[in-house]
Amino acid sequence: MKTKATLLYRATFNAEPSQLAFAPGRIEFIGNHTDYNGGLVMGAAVAEGVTVAAAKRSDRQLQLICEQGQLVELSLDALAPQPGDASWTNYPLGVTKVLLESGMQMDCGYNLAVVSDLPIGAGMSSSAAIELATAYALAALFGFAADKAEFARIGRRAENEFVGMPCGILDQGVSTFGQADHLVAIDCASETFRTIPMPQGTHFWIFNSNKKHALVDSAYANRFRECHQALAQLQQLYPEAASLSDITPQQLEAAQGELDGLLYRRASHIVGENARVRAVQAALQVGDLAAVGAALNASHESSRVNFENSIPELDFLVQELAKDPMVYGARLTGGGFGGAVMAFTSAEFGLNHAQVVSNAYCQQFGFQARILHTRAGPGASIY
């Protein structure tokens, strides 16, 4: 990827880049939509990700290129969201704006070339990977210092404020704090991060439904709003609750008659997800992979029923994977409304087993699910 980014930069700008940075995509292991509700989440950085090549310019222009896109040019002094085919640049542009607001001094513009080996639209957060790779490259280029947590917050601010996606810190936190063969556990209320070793002999398989999701234009923002509406109603009974994640299962059950039915289901998903994250953490400590898998399966079922962010294609993949005894558990990964399913498997699960699932999917829907066998890899860094 480093060579690929360098070649794209060289072909576009007829010069050599002075900084290269990489940031991985991520798997949401468990903790669906809990991040912006002040809850618990676990993810893993993957081996695949985004690499950017960058160098300073002699003027105050910005020029950005990606593999399949046209060159986009604008002024450093007129940063604004870009429409249509240029909308991919909103992630690096948003990061640029937040870095400037955070104190980074830029006496000139820059050229930026972006390459990726992440499957787009599969729910593996190519957006956060672009944000973090850009942040690391620009910080090195212009002499800005920040720790990992601050880089994660910079990426999230760019997505919240510039792109317009009301996400939490899961994607950027996992992309920053990723570690080979480890999960990243985040307490989103305190924004604390820690890594947990993956059990030996366990693997990640991603089944991309090829039903692309576009979260900015989808029901993601509706779920964000519904969660906050549910919290507002619950705060009438429990004013000490700062977020849905402060509500206990017992409190939610006691309040069921006071809540709108739809909002009760949304709150049930968040409260239940936090309990499932705790259950997974406890099960990993004692090596109970069956319990981990059961929590993953229950997470997907809650996504399907309570949060309604699954689709038939994702449900089918989960159902087919559940038939294989080498699969501990499976669930949608990411925001939902399309994208991919993650399967957590033993080492004995191989490509032939994955192909059985993909073939059944093709018989049902008329097209194959794309398969990716990946591993937990390192977080964002400068090359």
**Which helix (DSSP H) or strand (DSSP E) does residue 52 occupy?**
strand 40-56
Q: What share of the chain is helix, strand, coil (3-state, %, to 5)?
A: 45, 25, 30
The whole-angstrom separation of Cα 187 and Cα 149 is 12
DSSP string of 106-144, one letter each residue = -SS-EEEEEEE-SPTTSSS-HHHHHHHHHHHHHHHHHT-
Residues belonging to the active site: 171
How do beta strands 61-66 and 110-116 pair?
parallel
The whole-angstrom separation of Cα 26 and Cα 47 is 9
Structure tokens at 23: 């940031």
The whole-angstrom separation of Cα 309 and Cα 303 is 6
Contact 358, 207 (CB under 8 A): yes
Q: Which residue has the tokens 């109603």?
A: 233
